[in-house]
Structure 1
């Protein structure tokens, strides 16, 4: 347990940041799920627009430190290739 004042403050900050990061991660997952559902339905236009909506959200996750840059690059690459492959 935190004893010094700075350790107590750090603990408070960590819990606050944890809530913010959890919300951001959840939001990103929602956007990714929308892309996955559009791909599964086979609607290329819907999938492409869902991917366009998800990309800035993913990049925001990188800039805020929630996700690693290479993770997001890999996800976007794989999703875009799957959207492109829809007949």
Structure 2
């Protein structure tokens, strides 16, 4: 543990941010997996709902700095292609 007051604060802030990022990343992965499962089944209505939720989670991750905007665009584009292939 650091001795300097500002260094102690940095450790605490880093732990909080790490926990927040981990939770955000987990929610993002879950949403994407639910979409992938619905797309694999070929259920268009379920996939539509899961797609909307997944895109929202991706956008929230970008806003919070968990994902880079280009990475998010790549994920959304790939999901949209899968959704359109269901037909």
TM-score by length of 2: 0.94
String of CA shifts for 1:16-57, please: whole Å, max 9, x gaps. 110111001000111001000001111112111100111111
2:79 match: 79
* Cα separation, 1, equivalents of 2:3 and 2:66: 28
5+ residue gaps, structure 1, are: none
* Cα separation, 2, equivalents of 1:2 and 1:81: 50
Alpha-carbon distance, 1:5 to partner: 0.9
Secondary structure of 1:85 counterpart: helix
* Cα separation, 1, equivalents of 2:42 and 2:68: 29
Alpha-carbon distance, 1:3 to partner: 2.8
* Cα separation, 2, equivalents of 1:34 and 1:56: 13
RMSD: 1.0
Corresponding pairs, count: 87
1:52 match: 52
1:13 match: 13
